[in-house]
């Protein structure tokens, strides 16, 4: 702290409470900065034992929660119509004169706040108590405050443990869920592979049976065609044989007719030879007609056999 020449008192460094040693946030406003400055300045004034009491600290916490003030323990800073009102609650050490200590605190705090803020500021000092030589023994109120602090500490520790256990339980649940998901995925993949394998086997079996059926059908068609060809060939051969026989018979008949005509021509008269030649010609025509009929019959027989064997 710097010495204020207007206060006529040398301000020395003192041990600060933990709440005053923590750095201010980067976005600290003017009210917060003034409250911190006032607290540090008041604690450095000789004769100030500590700032605030139990009731003052509780009231300060309540005002903070309501958003009506900002400060540290024993220091209250209110902003009203563009001006700051600083109230410092102190406990004076015996045997320092109470009024003199209060005036010195007012002077020091006023000078310090003017260095950190241009906002008009008024300082009010309240003396809560005088700390005597026997006050170092814990009072019932102090013991109650200490017990309350211990309870708060224990509650905080219990809360920390509960949060830690909840985090561990959550981590275990997440791990179990991940393992269950991995197992389910593995089972699904195995089931999919099995189904794919069975499908492939079934497809191969159906394809094989279809190929066998196609081969059998083709074989039956080939055999039927061969059999049909054989029957057609046999029928055609029979028809041809029959036609040959009929043709041979017709030729033989024509030959006999020609011989008869020759025999008839030699001793006969011209009229007789003409009549005999006419008869021979008729016989030859008849024989030729018989051969034609036999050929036509053979053709019809072959066509009938072909239609019968055609699928």
pLDDT of the residue at 1: 40
Structure tokens at 193: 């592979």
The whole-angstrom separation of Cα 239 and Cα 12 is: 148
The whole-angstrom separation of Cα 229 and Cα 232 is: 5
Q: How far is CA 42 from CA 21, 115, 160, 161, 199, in A?
A: 15, 15, 36, 39, 89
pLDDT of the residue at 97: 96
pLDDT of the residue at 84: 95
Give the pLDDT of the chain (311 residues) as one tens digit per residue. 444 555 454 444 455 555 565 677 888 899 999 999 999 999 999 999 999 877 666 665 666 666 555 557 789 999 989 899 999 999 999 999 999 999 999 999 999 999 999 999 999 999 999 998 877 666 565 566 667 667 766 776 788 888 888 888 888 888 888 888 888 888 888 888 888 888 888 888 878 887 787 778 778 866 776 776 676 567 656 666 676 676 667 667 666 765 665 565 455 455 665 666 667 667 766 766 776 777 677 667 766 755 665 55
pLDDT of the residue at 106: 97
pLDDT of the residue at 308: 61
SS (HEC) of the chain: CCCECCCCECCCCCCCCHHHHCCCCCCCCHHHHHHHHHHHHHHCCCCEEEECCHHHHHHHHHHHHHCCCECCCCEEEEEECCEEEEEEEEEEECCCCHHHHHHHHHHHHHHHHHHHCCCCEEEEEEEEEEECCCCCCCCHHHHHHHHHHHHHHHHHHHHHHHHHHHHHHHHHHHHHHHHHHHHHHHHHHHHHHHHHHHHHHHHHHHHHHHHHHHHHHHHHHHHHHHHHHHHHHHHHHHHHHHHHHHHHHHHHHHHHHHHHHHHHHCCCCHHHHHHHHHHHHHHHHHHHHHHHHHHHHHHHHHHHHHHHHCC
Q: Which residues pair with 123 in a beta bridge?
A: 86
């Amino acid at each position: 702290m710097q010495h204020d020449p207007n206060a006529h008192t040398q301000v020395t460094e003192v041990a600060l409470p933990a709440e005053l040693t923590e750095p201010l946030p980067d976005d600290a406003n003017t009210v917060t900065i003034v409250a911190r400055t006032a607290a540090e300045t008041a604690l450095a004034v000789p004769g100030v034992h500590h700032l605030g009491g139990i009731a003052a600290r509780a009231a300060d916490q309540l005002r903070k929660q309501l958003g009506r003030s900002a400060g540290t323990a024993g220091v209250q800073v209110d902003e009203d119509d563009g001006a700051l009102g600083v109230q410092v609650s102190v406990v004076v050490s015996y045997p320092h004169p109470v009024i003199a200590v209060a005036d010195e605190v007012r002077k020091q705090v006023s000078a310090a706040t003017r260095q950190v803020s241009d906002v008009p500021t008024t300082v009010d000092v309240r003396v809560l108590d005088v700390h005597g030589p026997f006050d170092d023994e814990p009072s019932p109120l102090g013991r109650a405050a200490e017990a309350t602090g211990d309870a708060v500490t224990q509650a905080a520790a219990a809360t920390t443990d509960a949060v830690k256990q909840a985090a561990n339980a959550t981590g275990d649940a997440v791990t179990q869920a991940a393992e269950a998901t991995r197992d389910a995925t593995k089972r699904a993949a195995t089931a999919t592979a099995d189904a794919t394998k069975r499908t492939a086997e079934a497809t191969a079996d159906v394809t094989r049976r279809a190929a066998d059926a196609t081969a059998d059908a083709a074989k039956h068609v080939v055999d039927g065609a061969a059999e049909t060809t054989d029957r057609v060939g046999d029928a055609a051969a029979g028809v041809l044989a029959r036609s040959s026989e009929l043709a041979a018979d017709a030729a033989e008949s024509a030959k006999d007719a020609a011989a008869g005509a020759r025999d008839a021509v030699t001793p006969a008269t011209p009229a007789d030879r003409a009549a005999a030649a006419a008869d021979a010609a008729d016989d030859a025509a008849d024989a030729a007609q018989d051969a034609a009929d036999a050929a036509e019959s053979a053709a019809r027989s072959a066509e009938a056999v072909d239609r019968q064997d055609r699928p």
